[in-house]
């Protein structure tokens, strides 16, 4: 069974942060897919999604053209993304920060016991606990695999959101 998302800190709202290394392949793919699915579910006014990279090489740049092409072919719009580097002020906006692989998670200080920082793949309904492999130095197959993992995991996240948005879902730990 896959892990649960932590409760929101503000009742009725939820924010999901996505982190990879360069913020031009995996976390922007997850950002575009999850944002699209949140909008389709009618939750865009209550759910925020954002992404960044632990490295700063691609700050301000659009998505890797291979990641963008994979998203476009699947019907998503990758054009609005610009690279951003992780910092703690960014992370503080989110109820949960999801790292794409174990190295990204280690760079964030490791998994938090309260679940507010964890591996994206912990929510993967098919391969719970899996890492999203870095496609940057590989071929087109890698980008397809990333999209597949991201789509099914985003579906699982969107399925969980209505329950988290109920007023009783909040711990009020930031109130």
The reply on whether position 118 binds ligand 4NP by CB under 6 A is no
Residue 81, exposed/middle/buried by CB under 10 A (0-12, 13-18, 19+)? Answer: buried
Q: Is the distance from CB of 27 to CB of 53 less than 8 angstroms?
A: yes
The reply on whether position 57 binds ligand 4NP by CB under 6 A is yes
Residues numbered 67 to 86 that lie near ligand 4NP (CB under 6 A) are none
For residues 120 to 139, the per-residue mask of contacts with ligand 4NP, x marking binding by CB under 6 A and - elsewhere, is --------------x-x---
The reply on whether position 25 binds ligand 4NP by CB under 6 A is yes
The reply on whether position 20 binds ligand 4NP by CB under 6 A is yes
**What residues does 16 pair with on adjacent strands?**
49, 96
- In what side-by-side order are the strands of the sheet with 14-20? 47-53, 14-20, 96-99, 117-119
The SS3 assignment for 40 reads helix
Q: Catalytic positions, please? A: 20, 26, 134
Binding site for ligand 4NP (CB under 6 A): 20-26, 53, 57, 134, 136
């Amino acid at each position: 069974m896959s892990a649960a998302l932590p409760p929101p800190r503000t009742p009725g709202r939820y924010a999901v942060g996505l982190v990879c290394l360069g913020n031009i392949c995996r976390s922007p793919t997850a950002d575009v897919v999850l944002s699209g699915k949140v909008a389709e579910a009618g939750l865009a006014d209550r759910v925020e999604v954002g992404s960044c990279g632990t490295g700063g090489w691609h700050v301000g740049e659009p998505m890797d053209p291979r990641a963008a092409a994979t998203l476009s072919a699947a019907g998503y719009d990758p054009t609005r993304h610009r690279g951003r580097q992780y910092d703690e002020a960014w992370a503080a906006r989110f109820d949960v920060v999801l790292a794409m692989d174990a190295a990204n998670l280690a760079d964030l200080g490791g998994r938090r016991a309260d679940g507010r920082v964890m591996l994206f793949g912990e929510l993967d309904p098919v391969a719970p606990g899996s890492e999203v492999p870095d496609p940057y130095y590989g071929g087109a197959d890698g980008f397809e695999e990333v999209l597949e993992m991201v789509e099914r995991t985003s579906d699982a996240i969107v399925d969980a959101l209505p329950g988290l948005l109920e007023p009783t879902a909040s711990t009020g730990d930031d109130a």
